[in-house]
Amino acid sequence: MLYGIATAITALLLAALLSALLRVLALRLGLVDRRRRARPLPLLGGLAVVLSTCLVAAAGGWTGTAPLGDGVGRLLAAGAAVAVLGTAADVWRLKTPFLLVGTALAAACVVPYDEIGPVAGIAAVVWIACVAAAFRGLDHADGLAGTVGVLTAFGVGVCAAAEVMDDLAVLLSVLAAALTGFLMHNWHPARVAFGSGGSLFTGFVVASAALLTRTGYGTVSTVAVLFALTATASADAVLVLVSRKLAGRPLLRRGPDHLAHRLRRLGPTPPGATVLFGLATFAAVLVGVLVHTGWAEPKAVLWVAGAALAVVLGLLRVPAYAPRRPTELNSVRAQTPGSGTRTQSRVPGTRGRPEGRTARGVPTAGGATRVRADSSGARLRTEPFRVLRALRQSGAGAPRAPRGRAPYDAETGASGVQVPRRQLEYPPPPPRQSTSPQVRASLRIRDG
C-alpha cells in the first residue's frame, strides 16, 4: 500500500517536471501542434508520461519491491515501442494507416493466444489498435485525452487489483499518476500538447491491460466490460467516422467534428466540455468495474450503449463543417456591343473593370493593358505603371485620348474571351499637292 502511494507520487512529480523540460525542447526544435492555428502548442508532452511510467515501473522491478511479470514486462516494452512510433509520427508526420499497422504488430506481441484462441486473438489485436487510435483522436482539446486516460487507467487498475494482478495494478496506477502530472500543464489553457506518442501509448496500455484482466471469462461478459471501459473513446470515434461518411469527406482527414467540438458549439466552455466528457467517462468506467467485480449484471452495459448511441445521434445534428467555397472561376459576363452600352468582361484579378483601362481607370499607352499571370496561372493583374515608365524613359509619349468617351475597339480571341482593346488609329491627312506654275502666275497678276 505504502509502495503504491510512493510510486504514484514519484510518477506524478516526475511527469510534471519532464513536461516542463520537454516543452522547452519542443519549442526550440519547432515541434508544435499546427492543428491549433490560433494557439500553436509544443508537442512532446506525452513523451513525459511515457518516460515517467517506464522509469518508475522499471525501477520497481529492478529493486524487487514490485517485480513485473512476463506478460506485464512484455506489455510495457510493446507500449514503449508504440510511443516511439507515435513520436516519429509527430516529427515526420507519418500516415494514420502506418500507425495502425505498427500498433497492431505491437498488440500481436501482447495478446495471450493460448488462452483465448487464434480467432479471438486476431479480434483482440484489431480492437487494441482501434482503441489506441481512438485515444489519439481525443487529443484535440485541452486536457481531454489526459482526463479520459486517468479515469480509464484507474478503472482498469481496480479490475486488475480485483484479480490479484498486483504488477499490472501497479503499472496502471503509475500511468494514472503520470497522466495527472501531465494534466498540470495540459489543462486549459494548455502549455504543452499530448502528441501522438503519449496518446497511442495510453490507449495501447489501457486496452491491453483490460484484455489481460478479462482473460478466462465468458465472451459476452468480456465484450460488455471492455466496451464499458472504453465507451467514450469508442463513441467519439464512431461519431467522427459516421459524420465524415455522411458528409462525403475522407475518413482519416482531421477536422472539427469530434464530440468535444460539437459540445462546445452547444454552449459549454472548453473546460466545461472536458468536465462533461470526464463525467461520462467516469459513469461508463464505473459500470464496467461493477460488472467485472460482480456487483452488476452484464445487462447494465446496455444502459451505457444506449446513452452512447443517443449522444452520437444527437450530436450528429450539430453542424461541424463549414460550407464549401466554389471552386469554379467566375464566368465571363459580357453585354452585346450593339446595345449601345460599354462591353465589360470578368477576368480573375480585374474585378470586372473595362478592358483597356488600368486599376485607376486611366487608359494605358496605345490603349493596351499589359497583363501578367502569377505562379498558379489563375489570377491576373495589370501593370500599367511599368509600361508608362518605359515609355517616358524612351521619350515616346502615348497619344492623349480626347475628352469624353474614348474610342475603343473590342477584339475577341479564339477562346471567346475578350482581350484588351486597342485605341482606334485615325488615318493621316493626305499630303498637300503643289500648285502649278500657271496658277501661281495668274494669282500674282490678279493681286498686282
What integer pLDDT is reported at residue 69 of this predicted model? Answer: 79
The helix/strand/coil state of 363 is strand
DSSP 357: B
CA atoms of 157 and 173, how far apart (whole Å): 6
What integer pLDDT is reported at residue 411 of this predicted model? Answer: 46
- Whether residue 244 is predicted with pLDDT greater than 90 in this model: the reply is yes
Quickly count: other Cβ atoms within 10 Å of residue 255's Cβ: 17
- Whether residue 142 is predicted with pLDDT greater than 80 in this model: the reply is yes
The helix/strand/coil state of 215 is coil
Q: What is the mean pLDDT of residues 380-393?
A: 54
- Reported as a single tens digit per residue, the pLDDT across 173-231 is 999 999 999 999 999 888 999 999 999 999 999 999 999 999 989 999 999 999 999 99
More confident residue, 384 or 9: 9
Lowest mean pLDDT among 43-52, 67-76, 133-142, 187-196: 67-76
DSSP string for residues in 299-353: GGHHHHHHHHHHHHHHHTTS--SPPPPP-SPPPP----GGGSS------TTTTTP
What integer pLDDT is reported at residue 407 of this predicted model? Answer: 44
- Angle, helices 45-63/195-213, rounded to nearest 10 degrees: 40
CA atoms of 232 and 236, how far apart (whole Å): 6
Q: Which residues contact 118 (CB under 8 A, 6 or more apart)?
A: none
Residue 36 main-chain phi, psi, to 5 deg: -100, 85
Q: What is the mean pLDDT of residues 86-97?
A: 90
What integer pLDDT is reported at residue 49 of this predicted model? Answer: 96
More confident residue, 374 or 438: 438
